[in-house]
Amino acid sequence: MFRLKKLSNGVTIVSEKLPFVRSIALGIWVRNGSRHERIHESGISHFIEHMLFKGTKNRTSKQIADEMDRIGGQLNAYTTKEYTCYYFRALDNHIDQALDILVDMFLNSNFEDKEIEKEKGVVIEEINMYEDSPEELVHDLMQKAVWEDNPLGEPILGTEDTIATFNYKSLKSYYNKRYRPENTVIAVAGNFDYDEMMDKIEQKFSNWDFNEKDDYEYTYPQYKAQMITKTKDIEQIHLCLSFPGLPSDSEDVYTLITLNTILGGGMSSRLFQKIREDRGLAYSVYSYPTNYSDTGLFTIYAGMNPSQTSEVLDLIIKEIHSLKINKIPFDDLTKTKEQLKSNYIMGLESTNSRMSSIGRSQLMLNKVRTPDEIIEKVDAVTEERIALLIDQLFDFSKISASIVGKLDTINLKEIKALCQIS
């Protein structure tokens, strides 16, 4: 059972008690990510996430790590385009210590100049590592292409040029503007006494107040259909195809999840079976939806030998057309819905998964669905609804493509013709 509480300063707490486990997962979710940055700030949200592990008024970075290790806990964080999450998982008898460490990091970090300079090198190495991973880079290129001139298209990690400008003043100012009570959800799942847990959290956060005025200016991302390429001296060609998708609050999100599972969401999917298993043309081929608060993408990825690029692309496009013409049989739909429900229920056995589910949902949708409600949403997917979504989604006048590899080894004109890109 989920319970919701709001502190007087605007911090929202969402919790789920699980008396049959011995652990607790707690996350602090902030509605701030790379899409909230100006161009000259690109990467600052991710950089701040790193800096919160680098020492506070009360602990050095080594003490933070040592204290969490001493109680056998796990401490981590990550940044996305729309939010940042800081979280721990620990045994229920260590909740006081784990909570104190996490809140100390979150509210009392030093942002020391010497640590900032050291971390610049770390993040630049992270960027270089990403540049050396073409199977990752091709997805970032796609975002850059379709959300051109919008922060949503900028890389989460930022660039070497923007990172070089970060200092105490810029980091602290951005933190004070975006890390605000009304932007924050605290999610907790596991074995705890509700009243005691609420008291602990309220004591830690009740005095957290507004700092600087938030000057974020929202701009709606306009999807732009185009092809983008990048030359890399590698053996494979990495290719993404994308279509405009759905926002995270769409009524058809679970229809989209079902469609994705059938098309390219796993080893039994049509793309995997046809391209890898039947033809042996690619080691990796899959599809996935990306849902943001106001827009989305549906992307298909394949990595293959350059000589097989056109054949793989042709098979992908033929499979899409087959979906549009033949639709999805009832038996395939029934099997996929059972698969999705089973995966979801089994995933709930982890306190961290439950915490993540309720935290993200409360932060981004301002509501939390119960497991029964989510199962009902999956059950409500029908042949008719999925057929309508297929026709809506796969509009070839809006197809985009990103390609990474040795471009002189493939026929770009043929690829554009297959995709109907002018």
How confident is the model over 237-277, as pLDDT tens digits?
999 999 999 999 999 999 999 999 999 998 999 999 999 99
- Is the same domain home to 197 and 101? yes
Beta bridge partners of 3: 15
| pLDDT score for 327 | 86
- Is the same domain home to 161 and 235? no
User: Tell me: the pLDDT tens digits for 48-61?
Assistant: 999 999 999 999 99
Q: Which domain holds residue 284?
A: 227-419
CATH (domain of 146): 3.30.830.10
- CB-based burial, 133-171: b 16+ in 10 Å, e otherwise: ebeebbbbbbbbbbbeebbbbbbbbbeeebbeebeeebb
Mean pLDDT of 364-387: 94
Q: Where does a domain end: 174, 206, 238?
A: 206
- Is the same domain home to 199 and 271? no
The pTM for the full model equals 0.95
Domain for residue 217, yes or no? no
Domain for residue 212, yes or no? no
- Is the same domain home to 160 and 232? no
Mean pLDDT of 80-106: 97
- Is the same domain home to 160 and 299? no
Domain for residue 199, yes or no? yes
Q: Would you please indicate which residues are annotated as catalytic (active-site) residues?
A: 49
User: Which helix (H) or strand (E) covers residue 5, if one does?
Assistant: strand 2-6
Domain for residue 177, yes or no? yes
| Total domains in the fold of the chain | 2
- Is the same domain home to 157 and 256? no
* 42, 46, 48, 52: CA torsion to nearest 10: -170
| pLDDT score for 238 | 97
- Is the same domain home to 140 and 246? no
Q: Where does a domain end: 171, 206, 241?
A: 206
Token pair, residue 90, equals 């620990």
Domain for residue 282, yes or no? yes
